[in-house]
Amino acid sequence: DTEVTQTPKHLVMGMTNKKSLKCEQHMGHRAMYWYKQKAKKPPELMFVYSYEKLSINESVPSRFSPECPNSSLLNLHLHALQPEDSALYLCASSQGAGGAHEKLFFGSGTQLSVL
Amino acid sequence: GDSVTQMEGPVTLSEEAFLTINCTYTATGYPSLFWYVQYPGEGLQLLLKATKADDKGSNKGFEATYRKETTSFHLEKGSVQVSDSAVYFCALSGAAGNKLTFGGGTRVLVKP
């Protein structure tokens, strides 16, 4: 299994809703990532978990709350989002915990629309 | 800080044409360099990588050579197909190993 699986594929939510994005990998990878990608822009790093511990938080607003329940799962909890948070949210994983040569495996993303 | 600059698209080509996408970078030390491809409606996939100067990465007919003297990592393919239509991202991984810095992306459209 060489896939990173993200659910849901599409999500529409209001500004007062609470929702969660889920990501799963069964490759035994030790690092997992959340990226945000606006239309026609490159992905922007949000969070990195290494060995299930948060290692990088790129000054992301607190309305985004990551969680890594175990080495295979990564969640992103959403609360009180703004319309400008509408984007494609990509999950990725890598085998090790941060070597410079590492290949990232990306999921297909969750397309989020905030109304 | 680290940065990657790549040519803006869209690049429109006919099938079997030669493709070049320019990429230059700024980084301290000796970064690793990558090309990722994003097909419509999908996440990113690693296309190729190079980890040191003069390394050549290659995959699926695509090639790129790590040129430290010109801080470049240009992507080339000799004969493109319609299926190569996608957005291509140049990226580097520097001293903070698990943090990729992406270029702005280049959209490529190959017409039959």
Structure confidence at residue A99 (pLDDT): 61
Q: How far is B49 from chain A (nearest CA, A)?
A: 8
Q: How far is A98 from chain B (nearest CA, A)?
A: 4
B29-75 confidence digits (pLDDT tens): 889 999 999 998 888 999 999 999 999 999 999 999 999 999 999 99
Q: Are B98 and A43 in contact (CB < 8 Å)? A: no
Q: Which of chain B's residues have a Cβ under 8 Å away from the Cβ of A104? A: 44, 46, 100
A67-109 confidence digits (pLDDT tens): 999 999 999 999 999 999 999 999 999 987 766 677 889 999 9
Q: Are B46 and A103 in contact (CB < 8 Å)? A: yes
Both tokens assigned to B43: 């996440």
B75-99 confidence digits (pLDDT tens): 999 999 999 999 999 999 876 666 7
- CA proximity to A34, closest of A20, A18, A23, A19: A23
**A-to-B residue pairs, Cβ atoms closer than 8 angstroms:** 67
DSSP A15-78: TT-EEEEEEEE-S--SEEEEEEE-TTS--EEEEEEETTEEEEE-S--TTEEEEEEETTEEEEEE
- Return mean pLDDT, chain B: 93
A8-37 confidence digits (pLDDT tens): 999 999 998 999 999 999 999 999 999 999
Structure confidence at residue B8 (pLDDT): 85
Q: Name the residue of chain B whose CA is nearest to A95's CA.
A: B98
